[in-house]
């Protein structure tokens, strides 16, 4: 009930004009109705090494998704759907939420893009390690060849970065690569089969001048010797597609997307099936 019962229906014409910085009852009602009324979100439980956290449990059919960003707080439109991507209730989710980021992958334009300012802020350079983990439901389809699970730098652009891509048209065989430049300036961390029509936990971590780690459903392998010394992609992070639609997209759902400036796992682990935090 709005305002402890003071308002139970829309007020069409405010009887007073609120002072600058003060919400009128009408303004508060409209903001709450549109879900834009400021709410306190307790982020104290999020570890200090978390740079980005996106549960992707936004409202069904949303074309944006919120995230916790270290140093900023909650950003309501941190992710933007591209093409026909949308937040969806299409799958029962690992974390118990009702929605996740869906990519139909009917075309290369389908997928999700992270806000440019946020993406740039995640580029750790030589300052620290970096890790990414998330849950991905494979719908066992791609829009063509080499559908991208993650594209942040990679084959079609200059600079350092990563790309996780399907082996040609095989939607469940994923090549995990690190790049020091475009084209063939890359190394393969592994080609791993994921489960079709099921949720899979994806984990990658690198250390400047140190080992890299790859984890699929909690099974971790390492690749010795540093390859990326300065992590600074020249494009923004894209999920389930490439920037600029340079290659194809992968069909499926994503949730619990976490970026840290640490390496949380160096050996086999049990992926969490609960939300990191309620944001």
**What is the pLDDT at residue 15?**
45
Q: Ramachandran region of residue 245, left (φ > 0), alpha (ψ -120 to 50) or beta? A: left
pTM here? 0.86
Mean pLDDT of 219-230: 94
Residue 22 has pLDDT above 90, yes or no: no
CA distances from residue 149 to 13, 115, 175, 176, 206 in whole angstroms, order as listed: 50, 18, 10, 9, 18
With residues binned 3-state (H G I as helix, E B as strand, rest as coil), the percentages for the chain, rounded to 5, are 10, 40, 50
The residue that leads in pLDDT, 279 or 130, is 130
**What is the pLDDT at residue 32?**
56
The size of the chain, in residues, is: 279
Q: Ramachandran region of residue 234, left (φ > 0), alpha (ψ -120 to 50) or beta? A: alpha
Give residue-wise pLDDT tens across range 123-156.
999 999 999 999 999 999 999 999 999 999 999 9
Mean pLDDT of 29-51: 72
Residue 158 has pLDDT above 60, yes or no: yes
DSSP assignments along 8-36, one per residue = -S--SS-SSPPPTT---HHHHHHHHHTT-
Q: For the domain bounded by 50-260, which CATH number is listed?
A: 2.60.120.200
Asked whether the beta carbons of 113 and 85 are under 8 A apart, the reply is no
For the chain, which residues make up each domain, given as ranges?
Answer: 3-33, 50-260
Give residue-wise pLDDT tens across range 61-74.
999 999 999 999 99
Asked whether the beta carbons of 49 and 262 are under 8 A apart, the reply is yes
The residue that leads in pLDDT, 187 or 34, is 187
């Amino acid at each position: 009930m709005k305002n402890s019962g003071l308002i139970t229906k829309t007020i069409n014409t405010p009887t007073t004009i609120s002072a600058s910085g003060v919400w009128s009852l009408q303004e508060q009602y409209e903001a709450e109705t549109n879900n834009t009324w400021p709410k306190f979100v307790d982020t104290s439980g999020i570890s200090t090494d978390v740079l980005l956290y996106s549960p992707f449990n936004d409202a069904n059919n949303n074309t944006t998704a919120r995230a916790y960003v270290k140093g900023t707080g909650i950003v309501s439109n941190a992710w933007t759907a591209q093409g026909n991507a949308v937040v969806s209730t299409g799958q029962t989710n690992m974390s118990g939420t009702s929605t996740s980021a869906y990519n139909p992958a009917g075309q290369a334009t389908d997928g999700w893009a992270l806000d440019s300012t946020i993406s740039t802020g995640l580029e750790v350079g030589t300052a620290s390690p970096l890790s990414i983990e998330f849950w991905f439901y494979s719908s066992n389809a791609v829009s063509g060849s080499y559908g991208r699970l993650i594209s942040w730098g990679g084959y079609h652009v200059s600079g350092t970065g990563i790309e996780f891509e399907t082996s040609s048209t095989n939607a469940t065989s994923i090549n995990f690569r690190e790049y020091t430049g475009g084209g063939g300036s890359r190394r393969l961390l592994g080609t791993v089969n994921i489960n079709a029509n099921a949720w899979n936990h994806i984990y990658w971590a690198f250390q400047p001048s140190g080992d890299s780690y790859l984890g699929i459903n909690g099974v971790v392998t390492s690749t010795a010797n540093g390859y990326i010394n300065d992590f600074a992609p020249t494009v923004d992070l894209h999920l389930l597609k490439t920037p600029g639609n340079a290659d194809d997209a992968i069909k499926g759902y994503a949730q619990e997307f976490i970026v840290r400036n640490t390496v949380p796992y160096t050996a086999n682990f049990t992926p969490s099936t609960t939300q990191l935090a309620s944001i």
